[in-house]
A = this chain, B = another copy of it.
Amino acid sequence: MSSNVNRQWLFAERPEGKLGVEHFGYRESAVPTPGPGQVLVRHRVLQLMPGNRSWMQRDTYRSPLETDQVMPGYAIGEVVASNDLSFKPGDVVETMLGWQDYALASAAALKRRDTPASMEDLMGLLGLSGLTAYFGLLHVGRPRAGETLLVSAAAGGIGSVVAQLGRISGCRVVGIAGGPEKCAWLLNEVGLDAVVDYKAGDLADALSAACPNGVDLYFDNVGGRILEAALDVLKFGGRIVCCGATAHYDSDTPSRGPLGLPLKLIVKSLTMHGFANYGYGAHEREAESNLLKWLSDGSLKTFYHIVEGLEKTPEALVGMMAGMNRGMLLVRV
């Protein structure tokens, strides 16, 4: 591709049901020139996550998307031209400007990423999913050694880090995932203590068998019937970190709420923490430092599913919503 073409994926249409590639549009435009105070960034790695899908649906974390806007999303890349004194060509920066080769940003909207690490690690383990796992589990869930930690979507980008951070914290870690392959991978590669395949057999029975002494801390990435089932294996005084609700994202039908709430919270004195990774900026250096330490001493592994080429981004997100990938999903632009 010529370097004076900017490939862009657009939000074309709000899905009525499951996401498909037809809900995206494609456009090639000229690489823009930065105006006063603007910075031109060449995107190198994108991260895809279920949140991208939820933005296409309704007003959740952010305002609804407008037709033909560039699909937003986290991206990392380098500055190629700058009309702002705070950035110079070659600086590594993070943007929210999504699915395109080049993005024009105001300097104030860019986040400098000067930690010495690969673009993949900056967008993956040290990106939103890794930090969400770190803050959600360690700052909000506060696992203690000897506790049982249950994690849903354990094979996902956030779940696979949460599970490992739980092990580092001294917990017995039980994961929930769909299908025998993901479950075997979680046991053998990620190193969980037990796994529950939510697609096989009775979920309540399987959870009870995998957590014979109950669950102290449940890290929920999915909501829906898995959250309902987890409520029944939590111990008195147990905690839930609600980090995601993927069961509710890929549909235009409003979900019913979790059955038995709030009574099940009351009778077992459970606490449910809704968690979105806002307001932890002051702790990001701490998180990066710890994550890199655990990575270097081998107690933490990264699992990246890397898609080569911006052109494959829509099908990659569709595949993620269908449960195709393990670990974090990154696109090399």
A interface list, Cβ under 8 A from B: 60-61, 220, 223, 227-228, 236, 242-245, 248, 254-276, 278-279
User: Chain B contacts of A261 at CB under 8 A?
Assistant: 223, 257-258, 261
User: Chain B contacts of A266 at CB under 8 A?
Assistant: 242-245, 274-276
A-B contact pairs, 26 of them (CB 8 A): A60-B267, A223-B261, A223-B262, A223-B263, A236-B278, A242-B265, A243-B266, A244-B266, A248-B263, A254-B259, A254-B260, A256-B256, A258-B258, A258-B261, A262-B274, A264-B274, A265-B274, A267-B274, A268-B274, A268-B276, A269-B276, A269-B279, A270-B274, A271-B272, A271-B273, A272-B272
Contact partner of A258 (CB less than 8 A), chosen from B220, B228, B262, is B262
A262, B267: Cβ atoms closer than 8 Å: no
Nearest B residue (CB) for A223: B262
Copies in the complex: 2
Bound together, the chains give a CA A259 to CA B254 distance in angstroms of 8
Q: Beyond the given A60-B267, A223-B261, A242-B266, could you list 7 further A-B residue pairs with CB under 8 A, ordered by the A residue number?
A: A256-B259, A264-B274, A265-B274, A267-B276, A268-B276, A270-B274, A271-B273
Bound together, the chains give a CA A272 to CA B239 distance in angstroms of 10
A257, B254: Cβ atoms closer than 8 Å: no
Bound together, the chains give a CA A257 to CA B245 distance in angstroms of 15
A274, B274: Cβ atoms closer than 8 Å: no
Q: How far is the CB of A308 from chain B (nearest CB, A)?
A: 32
Nearest B residue (CB) for A222: B262
Bound together, the chains give a CA A60 to CA B262 distance in angstroms of 12
Nearest B residue (CB) for A248: B263
